[in-house]
Amino acid sequence: MSVTDGDEPHSLAWNAKFTIVDGDPGGLFNVTTGSNKHEGIIATAKGLDFERSSKHILLIAVENEVPFATPLPTATATVVVNVQDVSEAPDPIQKQMSKREDHAVDSDVRT
């Protein structure tokens, strides 16, 4: 996401700071400010699961790096993240199991 700012270029009042303000209760995403100081980069912080949620709607706010001298409305953007359904790898065919020596004959090792 990119923003524009009318303040003096490369000053603290010109640098943008991005935050996720809503839509990410599980902490699945993070947002950082790009090297040009006017770009918000959204990335996953944890793996996404299509079966749990195929879509995430994030509310992102952007402010100056230094607070405004007078209260001003905060700029926000709604970002929709669509999760692709991919085939997960199957469980391994072989599994390591053990049975205690004193286990009863014909008892279950695993179900």
Among 52, 51, 58, which residue's Cα sits nearest to residue 80? 58
Confidence check: pLDDT of 95 > 80: no
The mean pLDDT of 66-85, rounded to a whole number, is 89
Domain boundaries, the chain: 16-82
Query: Is the pTM value of this prediction over 0.75?
Result: no
d(CA 92, CA 95) in angstroms, rounded, equals 7
CATH 3.40.50.80 fits 16-82, yes or no: no
> Each residue of 52-65: pLDDT tens digit?
999 999 999 998 88
